């Protein structure tokens, strides 16, 4: 197995497809290889990509949808599923709560709320101020590059940030909001995970999976071997959770919520903010501790968990499963708070700091993650400045793949189609979803 370590550099050739060596190998063989392919300057000033790649905006906020509603704003995490006849089914989160109404699927005054069965909404806000988060489902023809259908598939939730695909062909979508029911327009407690089947053809019943915990959820990843579900929490002092379902075919049948701890290092602070507590590439043995009262009125799961010995992370965000490993991002981890990527080895039951940035020209606040068809990590940035897409390969090189030139919007929801031919990604503040195609084989040949 290869060891990885970052090297920093003082400047980044911004219009380049640049692989920055950060790797030393367990065999003590050092890789200094770099590759560089020029990014094309997009004449539209929208998205710079490597030569041979192109993008198409396939859906944007305000577009009319098949169900008579309109595409909501702030698209975030996404999952992609195989449909029929070269169709791809995309399930897309929307990170909105009660406002702004300009991003509502129901119109600027929620005037189209009567187009849906409000009993299906998780929180209808007394049919006056419904939760505007949720998911939309798109049916995309990969051959013609046309969206054939798009509709609201989950509604009435707050701030659906990320989530995760499941082995049972659905999307687990997560609320990054812990608002309490207030007896007025907030009818439900928030902070839950919901399951949206990929084959749903209309709005589904919004049923929270309560025993997965109530906290500031971000993303999940499912181990297909065990059915265990791993979860990140978007807090500066977050925990890493695992849900062990009683019945992997019915997540509503209950289960145990657990928290990750480092063996013999109680309440280890992995953030490396004040001191170096976790080193790159060092495999730390982990254990899982049961925690009770998983739907607290107060947002205190992480505090109680740390008292039990749970490890502390810096804004756990994107997460993805790949070949008995789970990768997850900590957006502001590291001594410069430029971000970390961790890896859990499910077979060895270890945690490893896979990447840590000390130079924002290399990697600056990674957020959503996915795994490429050839097994590398693709990371979206969310830093309020220039946001980019990066590939971190299994030799430890970071390759700049794309630059958002249209705005300071984060890039979000990166996911490949099941065929591996198309990368879908959101420009959140633009309210746009793009499909990217090109010679992917060049990136791993």
Average pLDDT for the chain: 92
Q: What percent of the chain has a predicted confidence (pLDDT) above 90?
A: 88
Give the model confidence (pLDDT) of 65-99 as tens digits. Answer: 999 999 999 999 999 999 999 899 999 999 999 99
Confidence of residue 37 (pLDDT cuts 50, 70, 90): low
Give the model confidence (pLDDT) of 213-248 as tens digits. Answer: 999 999 999 999 999 999 999 999 999 999 999 999
* pLDDT the model gives residue 183: 85
Confidence of residue 179 (pLDDT cuts 50, 70, 90): very high
Give the model confidence (pLDDT) of 375-400 as tens digits. Answer: 999 999 999 999 999 999 887 678 99
Residue 34 pLDDT exceeds 60: no
Q: Which of 222-231, 308-317, 350-359, 436-445 has the least mean pLDDT? A: 436-445
Give the model confidence (pLDDT) of 253-272 as tens digits. Answer: 999 999 999 999 999 999 99
Residue 397 CA to residue 20 CA, distance in Å, equals 5
* pLDDT the model gives residue 215: 99
The pTM of the full predicted model, rounded to 2 decimals, is 0.92
Residue 63 pLDDT exceeds 60: yes
Residue 211 pLDDT exceeds 70: yes
Residue 16 pLDDT exceeds 90: no
* pLDDT the model gives residue 1: 35
Give the model confidence (pLDDT) of 337-378 as tens digits. Answer: 999 999 999 999 999 999 999 999 999 999 999 999 999 999
Residue 18 pLDDT exceeds 80: no
Residue 159 pLDDT exceeds 60: yes
């Amino acid at each position: 197995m290869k060891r990885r370590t970052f090297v920093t550099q003082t400047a980044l050739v911004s219009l380049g497809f640049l692989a920055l060596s950060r790797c030393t190998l367990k065999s003590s063989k050092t890789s200094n290889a770099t590759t560089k392919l020029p990014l094309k300057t997009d004449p539209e000033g929208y998205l710079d990509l490597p030569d041979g790649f192109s993008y198409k905006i396939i859906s944007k906020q305000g577009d009319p949808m098949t169900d008579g509603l309109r595409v909501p704003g702030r698209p975030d995490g996404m999952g992609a599923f195989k449909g029929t006849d070269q169709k791809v089914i995309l399930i897309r989160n929307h990170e909105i709560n009660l406002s702004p109404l300009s991003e509502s699927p129901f119109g600027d005054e929620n005037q189209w709320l009567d187009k849906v069965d409000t009993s299906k909404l998780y929180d209808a806000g007394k049919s006056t101020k419904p939760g505007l988060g949720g998911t939309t489902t798109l049916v995309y023809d990969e051959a013609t590059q046309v969206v054939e259908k798009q509709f609201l598939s989950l509604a009435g939730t707050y701030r659906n940030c990320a989530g995760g695909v499941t082995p049972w062909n659905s999307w687990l979508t997560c609320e990054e909001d812990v608002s309490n029911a207030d007896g007025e327009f907030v009818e439900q407690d928030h902070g839950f995970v919901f399951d949206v089947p990929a084959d749903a053809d209309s709005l589904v019943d919004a049923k929270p999976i309560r025993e997965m915990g109530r906290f500031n959820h971000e993303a999940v990843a499912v181990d297909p071997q065990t059915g265990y579900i791993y979860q990140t929490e978007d807090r500066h002092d977050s925990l890493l959770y695992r849900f062990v379902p009683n019945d992997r075919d019915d997540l509503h049948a209950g289960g145990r919520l657990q928290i990750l701890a480092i063996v013999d290092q109680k309440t280890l602070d992995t953030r490396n903010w004040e001191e170096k507590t976790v080193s790159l590439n060092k495999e730390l043995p982990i254990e899982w501790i049961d925690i009770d009262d998983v739907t607290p009125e107060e947002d205190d799961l992480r505090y109680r968990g740390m008292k039990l010995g749970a490890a502390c992370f810096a804004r756990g965000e994107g997460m993805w499963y790949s070949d008995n490993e789970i990768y997850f991002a900590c957006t502001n981890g590291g001594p410069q708070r430029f971000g970390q990527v961790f890896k859990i080895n499910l077979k060895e039951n270890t945690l490893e700091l896979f990447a840590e940035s000390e130079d924002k020209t290399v990697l600056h606040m990674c957020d959503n993650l996915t795994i490429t068809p050839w097994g590398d990590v693709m990371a979206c940035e969310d830093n309020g400045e220039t946001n980019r897409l990066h590939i971190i390969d299994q030799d430890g090189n970071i390759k700049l793949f794309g630059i958002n030139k249209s705005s300071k919007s984060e890039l979000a929801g990166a996911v490949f189609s099941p065929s591996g031919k198309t990368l879908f990604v959101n420009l959140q503040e633009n309210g746009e979803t793009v499909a990217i195609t090109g010679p992917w084989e060049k990136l791993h040949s």
